[in-house]
Every structure is written in structure tokens, then in C-alpha cells.
């Protein structure tokens, strides 16, 4: 995969990053303790942990109305097949209660309810769409107004941080899904522990995320597509190059498949086999764990 030096001249962060950096520099001149704050990554740039949530929220506020379109661009449309396979792998049963985290636009939630209806004739399944960004949730709410699930108990929306599901009771969900969202969280270990807490015994955690391509030839092609094509398409389609540059960089900073599978185990989940399934040469992967 491309290294930060490979794209250093190409990478630009969102305007809010520069604003935060300026604020941090001003604070540093008045408070020497600022520099001792723990850091994390925002794309290829290191930022204070306390800053990342605001930066990520700004990115998704920027892309909310074009998010699903840009998923088509970023995956060549293949994300639709991945998500369909993701839902078939989850294979929800009648009456399943699902928490879909980072699911603001409602894409996974819609697939879940449609699967339950078409496979089981079930109208008792319920999904809570949970997202940190109100702009993304508004897109999801609007999507559901055009469906038979609108104004029913089958779907609800909740704003909050995946690291602290304070309004979701212990042992209350049959399934927890998160698609293309966990890599944007500051503390992935906290997200996993919260997922474990809210699932019922026997409940299933499933994550669909962009991952690491091992084949060197395919990896090289994927790098060119990621760093040259996707940000350019972000500029053309959404008039926002920076946000899509961040999204590409965030993929490269996410742990590879085996490392993330271990993190899921460390959170308490029981993992079957290697714990993940590669999709499209590892461009994406489905991770799974059970609360047993």
C-alpha cells in the first residue's frame, strides 16, 4: 500500500483541520501542556485525540448528501454486492433487533428490513440506526419516508458516539452491524467493548470495512485508483476533494484483517475460524464475532 511519503504532496486535510491546528498552535504558546495530549491519526496526519471526533464529524457533514453516490465511486459500485452479501451472512431471523452503528444514511438498515420481509415475510424485525453525525441521519430519515417502514416501530434513529452507547441497555440487541464506519472512530477498542455490552448472549457483531490487499500487483493498481482517482472524483461529484482524500487515507491507517480480528477477540467475542472473509481480493472484509 502507499506510504504517507508516497502521497504527502497530494494529501490535504479539510479546512477544519487547519482551523484546529491554528487553535492548537495558539494554545501551545499559552499552555505548554497541550503538546503532551495523546495523539491519534486523522488520515495520514497525527492530531490530538480530543480533536478527531470534530474532524470526522465535519468530513461526514461535508459528504452526507453524496455519501452513497461516492461509495459507488470508491468501490466501483461493488459495495452494493458487498452489502448484499453482508446481509446474507448475517441472515437475520424473524423478530431480530439490530443496532446499525455508523449507519446514518440507512443503507444497511434498509437491506436488513427488506431481507427480513422478503425472506421470512417478517414485519416484526427492528433496527436502530445510530450515527454520530446528524447530517447523515437526516439523509437516512429522508430515505425511509419513501418506504413502507416509515412511521413504524421497525426503524428508529439515534444520534451518538459509538464509543459510548449510553442510551442502549446491556444485553438488548440480537445483532450489531457497522459498515465502513469503525475506521473513523478514535478508540476502536472502546467501540468493540460497547458492541459486546449491548448484545444479548448469543448476539452477533458484524463489521464490513475496507481492508488490506495483499496481492502486490492488485495492491499497486488499487493505490493508483485510491490516491489518484477517488479524490478527483470527490471533487467532480461532490465538489470536495479533501474529504475523500481523508477517507482514502483512513483506509490505509486501519489495522489489517488479522490484527482487527484479534481486537475483536480481545473485546470478548468468540471468533469462528480466522474471523473474517476477504471480499474482492481484500479490498474489503467482513469481520464477525459472537457474544457467547
CA distance 265 to 274: 11
In a shared domain, residues 54 and 119? no
What pLDDT does 237 receive? 84
Distant-in-sequence contacts of 3-11, Cβ < 8 A, 24+ apart? 4/44, 6/223, 6/227, 7/44, 7/227, 7/249, 8/44, 10/227, 10/231, 10/245, 11/43, 11/44, 11/45, 11/245, 11/249
Give tens-digit pLDDT for 73-85.
Answer: 778 889 999 999 9
- Is the pLDDT at 87 greater than 90, yes or no? yes
Does the predicted model carry a pTM greater than 0.85? yes
Side-chain half-sphere exposure of 270, counting CA atoms within 13 A = 8
Average pLDDT over residues 149-174: 98
**Residue 31 structural domain:** 11-63
Please state, in angstroms and rounded to a whole number, the distance separating the CA atoms of residues 269 and 275.
Answer: 10
- Measured CA to CA, the distance from residue 62 to residue 75 in angstroms comes to 19
Flag whether pLDDT at 20 surpasses 70: no
Confirm whether 232 is domain-assigned. no
d(C-alpha 27, C-alpha 33), whole Å: 9
**Which residues lie across from 42 on neighbouring strands?**
45
Q: Is the per-residue pLDDT at 60 higher than 70?
A: yes
For residue 14, the model assigns a pLDDT of: 42
CB distance 226 to 53 below 8 Å? no
Residue 122 lies in a domain: yes
SS3 assignment, position 278: strand
Flag whether 162 is marked binding: yes
The reply to whether 58 and 168 lie within a common domain is no
CA distance 282 to 252: 12
List the one residue out of 289, 288, 259, 292 whose CA is nearest residue 86: 288
Average pLDDT over residues 57-86: 89
Average pLDDT, rounded, for the chain: 89
Q: Out of 63, 89, 106, pick the residue that ends a domain.
A: 63
Selection from 5-9, 27-31, 176-180, 227-231 with the highest mean pLDDT: 176-180
* Domain annotation covers residue 246: no
**Sheet hosting strand 199-210, strand order edge to edge:** 155-159, 126-131, 97-101, 173-179, 199-210, 284-290, 276-279
- CA dist., res. 81 & res. 88, Å (int): 11
pLDDT at 32 over 50: no
> Can you give the length of the chain in residues?
292
Q: Specify whether 21 is located in the same domain as 103.
A: no
Residues 6+ positions from 191 with CB-CB distance below 8 Å: 101, 162, 163, 178, 182, 185
Please tell me whether residues 195 and 159 are part of one structural domain.
Answer: yes
Local structure of 138: helix, strand or coil: helix
Helix (H, G, I), strand (E, B) or coil at 3: coil
Let me know whether 206 and 284 are in one domain: yes
Quote the DSSP letter at residue 272.
Answer: -
Instruction: Tell me: do 90 and 141 sit in the same domain.
Output: yes
Q: How confident is the model at residue 208 (pLDDT cuts 50, 70, 90)?
A: very high
Q: Are residues 145 and 270 in the same domain?
A: yes
pLDDT tens figures, 168-197: 999 999 999 999 999 999 999 999 999 999
For 20-34, 170-184, 191-205, 255-269, which range has the lowest pLDDT when averaged over its residues? 20-34
Query: How much is the pLDDT for 227?
Result: 94
Residues 173 and 271 in one domain: yes
128 marked among binding-site residues? no
Tell whether the model's pLDDT for residue 163 goes beyond 80. Answer: yes
33 and 143, same domain (yes or no): no
Q: What is the pLDDT of residue 72?
A: 85
53, part of any domain: yes
pLDDT digits (tens, 9 = 90+) for 93-143: 999 999 999 999 999 999 999 999 999 999 999 999 999 999 999 999 999
Residue 184 domain flag: yes
Q: Is 24 labeled as ligand-binding?
A: no
Residues 53 and 91 in one domain: no
Measured distance CA(219)–CA(221) in Å, rounded: 5
Kindly state whether residues 191 and 141 are assigned to the same domain: yes
Q: Is 105 annotated as a binding residue?
A: yes
Q: How far apart are CA 42 and CA 40, in angstroms?
A: 7
Query: What share of the chain has pLDDT > 70, as a percent?
Result: 88
Domain CATH for 149: 3.40.50.150
Per-residue pLDDT at 8 exceeds 80: no
Residue 230 falls inside a structural domain: no
Average confidence (pLDDT) over 17-26:
53
Amino acid at each position: 500500500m502507499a506510504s504517507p511519503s508516497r502521497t504527502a504532496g497530494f494529501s490535504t486535510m479539510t479546512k477544519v483541520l487547519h482551523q484546529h491546528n491554528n487553535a492548537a498552535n495558539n494554545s501551545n504558546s499559552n499552555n505548554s501542556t497541550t503538546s503532551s495530549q495523546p495523539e491519534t491519526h486523522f488520515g495520514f496526519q497525527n492530531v490530538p485525540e480530543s480533536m478527531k471526533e470534530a474532524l470526522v464529524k465535519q468530513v461526514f457533514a461535508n459528504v452526507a448528501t453524496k455519501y452513497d453516490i461516492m461509495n459507488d465511486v470508491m468501490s466501483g459500485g461493488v459495495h452494493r454486492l458487498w452489502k448484499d452479501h453482508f446481509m446474507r451472512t448475517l441472515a437475520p431471523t424473524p423478530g431480530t433487533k439490530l443496532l446499525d452503528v455508523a449507519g446514518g444514511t440507512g443503507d444497511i438498515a434498509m437491506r436488513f428490513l427488506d431481507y427480513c420481509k422478503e425472506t421470512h415475510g417478517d414485519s416484526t424485525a427492528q433496527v436502530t440506526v445510530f450515527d454520530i453525525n446528524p447530517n447523515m441521519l437526516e439523509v437516512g430519515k429522508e430515505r425511509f419516508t419513501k418506504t413502507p417502514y416509515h412511521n413504524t416501530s421497525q426503524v428508529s434513529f439515534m444520534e451518538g458516539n459509538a464509543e459510548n452507547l449510553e442510551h442502549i441497555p446491556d444485553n438488548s440487541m440480537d445483532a450489531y452491524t457497522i459498515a465502513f464506519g469503525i475506521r473513523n472512530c478514535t478508540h476502536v477498542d472502546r467501540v468493540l467493548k460497547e458492541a459486546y455490552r449491548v448484545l444479548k448472549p448469543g448476539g452477533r457483531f458484524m463489521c464490513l470495512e475496507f481492508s488490506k490487499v495483499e496481492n502486490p500487483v492488485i495492491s499497486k493498481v488499487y493505490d493508483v485508483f485510491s490516491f489518484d482517482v477517488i479524490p478527483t472524483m470527490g471533487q467532480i461529484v461532490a465538489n470536495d476533494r479533501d474529504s475523500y482524500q481523508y477517507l482514502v487515507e483512513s483506509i490505509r491507517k486501519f489495522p489489517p484483517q488479522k490484527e482487527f480480528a484479534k481486537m475483536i477477540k480481545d473485546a470478548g467475542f468468540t471468533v469462528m475460524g480466522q474471523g473474517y472473509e476477504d471480499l474482492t481480493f481484500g479490498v474489503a472484509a467482513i469481520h464477525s464475532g459472537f457474544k457467547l
